[in-house]
Chains A and B, each alone.
Chain A
């Protein structure tokens, strides 16, 4: 279990840095999804299945939905203004 924990920790650390350093909004939303999945594996490896389930439901479905809708709304206004 210990190598799996170390691997999950490394993945989450790298994912967090990637989310912060991303430039484009859509790319950042995608990286946020990967970061969420890494968190799910980390929670599972820390023997917390309830937390992993809620993180999966939230980070896999609810948060990307809300993010995508907000980004679409903002980009539509930008496109309409420039175009």
Chain B
């Protein structure tokens, strides 16, 4: 089908889609006019039931922990796909291809920024149940701190500091820990992923039952996943 025919077909179909969307959106309540009962109920009950101040994290890891397990498996599968695609097709082992020294300002900024961002990432993960944050956000920040080493210094340093088998292992540990904590709920006589730990005092870092544990498992997994992806792409750049 030629390009012009394809665009014309899309415009025709797109007009139908826009009409359908407009009809659907007109049936929704107006913006700000929230009708749901579940949201208000959660907002009122969440602090008393889970002792976690951040209601969104309580929903992610406690009330809707099973959905988060599914999301983690999606993440795991995507990284698996990236690794399979890019490792299988590498024809020769990577050789040193015109490795240019990074500029001095980049090097200086990287040296200062890397430990700061790493600490910031760990802070965001740890305070997930108290302030906005959590495993997902903090995991990305920590991973970016580690990848910054590869950008600001030699890539060989990066491959030595964050070797791929280690990142593979950490990622598996993250996902496995999440599922294992869920099974722990079953072992304690409750449902899968139900919190079996005691809730603790509100406001402590360890409050919330199993929420901090799941938070850390997620943080470790997301960090390892993003570092692995960046490592694969770095090796792509070094090939040939």
Contact = CB atoms under 8 A, between A and B. Distances in A.
Interface of A: 49-50, 52-54, 57-58, 61-62, 65-66, 69-70, 72-73, 76
Contacts of A50: 54, 56-57, 132-134, 137
Interface of B: 54, 56-57, 124, 132-134, 136-137, 140-141, 143-144, 147, 226, 229-230, 233-234, 236-237
Which of B137, B144, B229, B237 counts the most A-chain CB atoms under 10 A from its CB?
Answer: B137
Main secondary structure of the interface of B (DSSP, over half): helix
A62 B237 contact: no
Contact of A57 (B141, B229, B234): B141
Nearest to A77: B240
A53 B137 contact: yes
B65 to A, nearest CB: 16
A76 B237 CA distance: 8
A53 B140 CA distance: 10
Given A50-B54, A50-B56, A50-B57, A66 B233 contact: yes
A52 B137 CA distance: 10
24 contacts: A49-B132, A50-B56, A50-B57, A50-B133, A52-B132, A53-B124, A53-B132, A53-B133, A54-B136, A54-B140, A57-B137, A57-B141, A58-B140, A61-B141, A62-B140, A62-B143, A62-B144, A65-B147, A66-B229, A69-B230, A69-B233, A73-B233, A73-B236, A73-B237
Contacts of B57: 50
B230 A54 contact: no
Given A53-B137, A62-B144, A69 B234 contact: yes
Contacts of A54: 136-137, 140
A57 B144 contact: yes
B230 A65 contact: yes
Contacts of A73: 233, 236-237
B134 A69 contact: no
B144 A69 contact: no
A61 B133 contact: no
Contacts of B147: 65
B172 to A, nearest CB: 21
Contacts of A58: 140
B132 A69 contact: no
Contacts of A70: 233
B187 to A, nearest CB: 31
A66 B143 CA distance: 13
A50 B124 CA distance: 11
A78 to B, nearest CB: 14
Contacts of A76: 237
A65 B226 CA distance: 10
A70 B229 CA distance: 11
B237 A72 contact: yes
Nearest to B97: A76
Nearest to A80: B240
